């Protein structure tokens, strides 16, 4: 395990995610809008149930990502020990192909722009592969299920459904569109025990001691791609132009380098700590992969509320929702297979807490009623429940982003760093920036991502 002095982390509230993909697009504009990363999404938003990106990445029997315990109870990479991995270094059988992601395409816009006026038919812009330049048929995309209605067809192949009972699977299969749907935004987990770092034969992947962010040293990477196999979340990508690994940087240039007291104060104020440890409503994504992921999720209550409505119940009535959580095994078991390694009681407990919080605050706001029975159901006092509500419902930017400020004594040094373009996103030549203007005002950021060990 990599030793770190501090660890930055994130919690995503899935009841708030509406699948608008704004986060994916801004991330792509900043980090992967350049040659060789056309298919790459450091941040992507998946539709669940669904098979995700790359297809079926959660099926570790197929991809061999994450860690397992060996016969002596010691952690070992699922992709095998050092000797086995070295034996596969030139022919790794567990790598996603471009079809598992999707072949990036553009369109022959010139066919539209320079077409002469005509009355017989309408000019058509054919799709063209961004990798080969050939005409192609588009059969898959980053959000195919979401945007193009493929969930009913591909959702039943979701690896998380494999853990459900045969009856539940049948029900999901036959009543898919009526069952439930939610969105899952995903970035690199900046794991405490990163399988990608352990699998890298070149030592190019590393976890920063000062904040726990996992990065790739571009000078050292030799493109062996062992990190791609080892990452169970498939959040390391190969730049098809440079052949080197690239991954989410947790926007490290945006995180100022805080020191000592500032880190401790930020940790004490952290909403992450409150949501995960104090209120215990944030859960890790697939903890069974044993990488100790550092991006956690508030599980969505919406699948249960949808089911309450389908049953003719009142989604604002705590009793109806409590009964639904207890009775409706499909959403709860499905969420458990994603967030708690199959432990339905933990997910059910979090959903109960969220449902009780909603009902308690509703009655308090409408007519000032204090429902002690709902407080008892959550095991929280009124002050804590209202704090959780504020955090989830109405928290301001400064309450949600607690990042240690730089120490004053380091201000001059940081300013120099920013001015030298090593750290700022706004400077030419900075990470993800630079490049040339193409087409009608479209900008391609062409600089190589230069992340180097300090």
Token pair for 94: 């567990």
- By the rule CB under 6 A, 188 interacts with ligand SF4: yes
Closest distance of CB 359 from ligand SF4, Å: 36
- Per rule CB under 6 A, is residue 78 in the interface with ligand SF4? no
DSSP helix, strand, coil percent of the chain (3-state; round to 5): 40, 10, 50
Structure tokens belonging to residue 174 = 């036959």
What is the nearest approach in angstroms of ligand SF4 to the Cβ of residue 198? Answer: 9
Number of residues that bind ligand SF4 (CB under 6 A): 14
Interaction of residue 233 with ligand SF4, rule CB under 6 A: yes
Residue 214 binds ligand SF4 (CB under 6 A)? yes
Return the number of the residue (12 or 305) whose C-beta is nearest ligand SF4: 12
The distance of closest approach from Cβ of residue 290 to ligand SF4 in the complex, given in angstroms and rounded to an integer, is 10
For residue 189, the minimal CB distance to ligand SF4 (Å) is 4
CB of residue 221 vs ligand SF4: minimum separation in angstroms? 13
The Cα 49–Cα 117 span in angstroms is: 46
CA distance 166 to 96: 29
Contact code string over 242-261 relative to ligand SF4, x by CB under 6 A: -----x--------------
Judged by CB under 6 A, the residue of 17, 172, 196, 282 near ligand SF4 is: 196
Binders in 269-298 for ligand SF4, by CB under 6 A:
291
In angstroms, rounded to a whole number, what is the distance separating the alpha carbons of residues 34 and 284? 31
E strands, 73-209, where?
A: 75-77, 105-107, 127-129, 182-186, 205-207
Residue 190 in contact with ligand SF4, rule: CB under 6 A:
yes
Looking at the Cβ atoms of 216 and 336, the one nearer to ligand SF4 is 216
**Segment near ligand SF4 (CB under 6 A), from 12-20, 194-202, 265-273, 305-313?**
194-202
Q: How far apart (Å, rounded) are the C-alpha atoms in residues 329 and 342?
A: 12
Degrees to nearest 5, angle at CA 94 with 91 and 99: 100
Stretch that binds ligand SF4, among 146-154, 190-198, 336-344, 421-429 (CB under 6 A): 190-198
Nearest Cα residue to 78 out of 229, 234, 285, 236:
229
What's the token pair of residue 348? Answer: 């059910």
For residues 315 and 321, give the distance between their C-alpha atoms in angstroms, rounded to a whole number.
6
Q: Which of 195, 216, 307, 391 binds ligand SF4 (CB under 6 A)?
A: 195
How many Å apart are CA 221 and CA 24, to the nearest integer? Answer: 26
What six digits make up the tokens of 343? 């432990």
**With binding defined as CB under 6 A, does residue 189 bind ligand SF4?**
yes
Among positive and negative, which fits the CA dihedral 423, 427, 429, 433? positive
Given candidates 17, 191, 361, 451, which one binds ligand SF4 under the rule CB under 6 A? 191
Rank residues 64 and 154 by Cβ distance to ligand SF4 and give the closer one: 64
DSSP 314: -
Q: For the chain, how many residues are written?
A: 454
DSSP-derived secondary structure letter, 258: B
Output the smallest distance, CB 91 to ligand SF4, in A.
Answer: 22
Min separation Cβ 236 and ligand SF4, Å: 5
| One of 194, 284, 299, 331 touching ligand SF4 (CB under 6 A) | 194
Taking CB under 6 A as the binding criterion, the range among 45-53, 184-192, 329-337, 402-410 that sits at the site for ligand SF4 is 184-192
CB-nearer residue toward ligand SF4: 254 or 390: 254
CA distance 199 to 388: 39
Of 188 and 226, which has the nearer Cβ to ligand SF4?
Answer: 188
- Options 208, 235, 274, 290; binder of ligand SF4; rule CB under 6 A: 235
Q: Taking CA 344 as the corner, what is the angle to CA 377 and CA 183, rounded to the nearest 5 degrees? A: 95
* For ligand SF4, the closer CB: 51 or 231: 231
Q: How far is the CB of 11 from ligand SF4 (least distance, A)?
A: 16
CB contact at 8 A, 129 and 98: no
> Quick check: helix, strand or coil at residue 407?
coil
Binding segment (CB under 6 A) for ligand SF4, from list 14-22, 85-93, 182-190, 430-438: 182-190
Cβ atoms of 34 and 137 closer than 8 Å = no
Taking contact as CB under 6 A, which single stretch among the options 233-241, 346-354, 359-367, 441-449 is the one that binds ligand SF4? 233-241
Residues contacting residue 182 through CB under 8 Å, at least 6 positions apart: 14, 17, 48, 300, 302, 303
Interaction site with ligand SF4 (CB under 6 A): 188-191, 194-196, 214, 231, 233, 235-236, 247, 291
């Amino acid at each position: 395990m990599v030793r770190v002095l501090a660890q930055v982390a994130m919690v995503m509230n899935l009841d708030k995610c509406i699948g608008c993909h704004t986060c994916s697009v801004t991330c792509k504009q900043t980090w992967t809008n350049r040659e060789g990363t056309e298919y790459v999404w450091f941040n992507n938003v998946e539709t669940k149930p669904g098979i995700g990106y790359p297809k079926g990445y959660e099926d570790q029997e197929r991809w061999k990502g994450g860690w397992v315990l060996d016969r002596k109870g010691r952690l070992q990479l699922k992709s095998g020990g050092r000797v086995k991995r070295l034996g596969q270094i030139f022919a790794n059988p567990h790598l996603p192909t471009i079809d598992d992601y999707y072949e990036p395409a553009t369109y022959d816009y010139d066919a539209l722009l320079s077409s002469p006026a005509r009355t017989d038919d309408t000019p058509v812009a054919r799709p063209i592969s961004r990798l080969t330049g050939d005409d192609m048929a588009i059969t898959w995309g980053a959000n195919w299920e979401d945007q193009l209605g493929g969930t009913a067809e591909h959702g039943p192949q979701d690896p998380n459904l494999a853990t459900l009972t045969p009856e539940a699977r049948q029900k999901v299969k036959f009543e898919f569109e009526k069952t439930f749907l939610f969105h899952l935004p995903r970035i690199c987990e900046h794991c405490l025990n990163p399988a990608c770092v352990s699998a890298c034969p070149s030592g190019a992947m590393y976890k920063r001691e000062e904040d726990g962010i996992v990065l790739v040293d571009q000078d050292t990477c030799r493109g062996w791609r062992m990190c791609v196999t080892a990452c169970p979340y498939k959040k390391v990508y190969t730049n098809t132009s440079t052949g080197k690994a690239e991954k989410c940087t947790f926007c490290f240039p945006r995180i100022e380098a805080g020191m000592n007291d500032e880190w401790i104060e930020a940790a004490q104020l952290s909403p992450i700590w409150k949501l995960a440890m104090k209120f215990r409503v944030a859960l890790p994504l697939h903890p069974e992969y044993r990488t100790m992921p550092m991006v956690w999720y508030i599980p969505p209550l919406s699948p249960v509320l949808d089911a309450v409505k389908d049953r003719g119940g009142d989604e604002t009535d705590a009793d109806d929702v409590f009964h639904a959580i207890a009775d409706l095994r499909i959403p709860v078991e499905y969420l458990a297979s994603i967030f708690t390694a199959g432990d339905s009681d933990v997910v059910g407990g979090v959903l109960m807490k969220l449902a009780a919080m909603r009902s308690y605050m509703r009655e308090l706001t409408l007519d000032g009623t204090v429902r002690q029975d709902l407080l008892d159901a959550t095991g929280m006092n009124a002050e804590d429940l209202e704090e959780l509500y504020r955090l989830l419902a109405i928290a301001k930017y400064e309450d949600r982003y607690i990042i240690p400020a730089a120490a004053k004594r380091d201000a001059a040094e940081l300013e120099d760093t920013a001015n030298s373009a090593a750290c700022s996103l706004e400077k030419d030549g900075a990470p993800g920036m630079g490049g040339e203007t193409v087409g009608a005002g479209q900008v391609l950021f062409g600089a190589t991502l230069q992340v180097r060990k300090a």
